[in-house]
Amino acid sequence: AQSVTQPDIHITVSEGASLELRCNYSYGATPYLFWYVQSPGQGLQLLLKYFSGDTLVQGIKGFEAEFKRSQSSFNLRKPSVHWSDAAEYFCAVGARAAGNKLTFGGGTRVLVKP
Amino acid sequence: DADVTQTPRNRITKTGKRIMLECSQTKGHDRMYWYRQDPGLGLRLIYYSFDVKDINKGEISDGYSVSRQAQAKFSLSLESAIPNQTALYFCATSDSGTKNIQYFGAGTRLSVL
């Protein structure tokens, strides 16, 4: 069975600083990988996804993520955060062999200091 | 209007009561899902349906049941609510042809007293 670990429960970053959120997964084959963002009182919005090909993927809101097979990681980055990036971020892995059901990590809550 | 609509948005109920959470979608997707979100645990899958006649248990289905009334409607029931079912519940949909990109409703916050 697949699993996802997000080691950082909370991250505090200053506005304008860079942000990196870590995600490690366990899956026996090449997975489908996703990052979602949940703003307060909102549902989850897809930031970006990786299916195959170029391991650096671009998403919405200036985010990017890099798939590293050797490290089983799919870390999310943003060069310069805005106050509106304060939210909870979830990494998810889709298992191709199981109808692509998603398994989510525990989430990382990002606080942005002025 | 939202593509994935959950009702109610908030609900407070008492232990032992039966409660139904509803989800409807206008995206034309064939697959629908119910998750619950608890702090630090992320989202965990309760039930999922790949089409109207195909319903499957997820990792935490005990104490829950579902009904797929139509392609666009998928409801979640708690037959006899208990306090540890207090959580944020999300419905999601996906199209079988899109590698399972899921689209989420705004959530239902349920409190069981």
Q: Read off the pLDDT of residues A61-113 as tens digits, 9 standing for 90 and up.
A: 999 999 999 999 999 999 999 999 999 999 999 877 666 688 999 999 999 99
Cα–Cα nearest to A95, from B26, B48, B86: B48
Question: Which among B41, B50, B90 has the least Cβ separation from residue A43?
Answer: B90
pLDDT band of residue A2 (cuts 50, 70, 90) is confident
Q: Give the three-class secondary structure for A85.
A: helix
Helix, strand, coil percentages (3-state) for chain B, rounded to 5, are: 5, 60, 40
Q: What average pLDDT does the segment B5-18 reach?
A: 96
Indicate if the pLDDT at residue B1 is higher than 60: no
Query: Contact B99/A100, CB-based, under 8 Å?
Result: yes
Q: Which residues of B touch A106 (CB under 8 A)?
A: 40-42
Q: What is the pLDDT of residue B61?
A: 96
* Smallest CA–CA distance from A49 into chain B, residue: B101
Q: What is the pLDDT of residue A42?
A: 85
Q: Is the CB of B97 inside 8 Å of chain A's CB atoms?
A: no
Indicate if the pLDDT at residue A38 is higher than 70: yes
d(CA B37, nearest CA chain A) in Å: 9
Question: Which A-chain residues 50-79 have CB contacts (< 8 A) with chain B?
Answer: 51
C-alpha span between B48 and B26 (Å, rounded): 18
d(CA B59, nearest CA chain A) in Å: 10
Per the prediction, chain A carries an average pLDDT of 92
C-alpha span between B88 and B10 (Å, rounded): 9
Contact (CB, 8 A) for A64 and A79: no
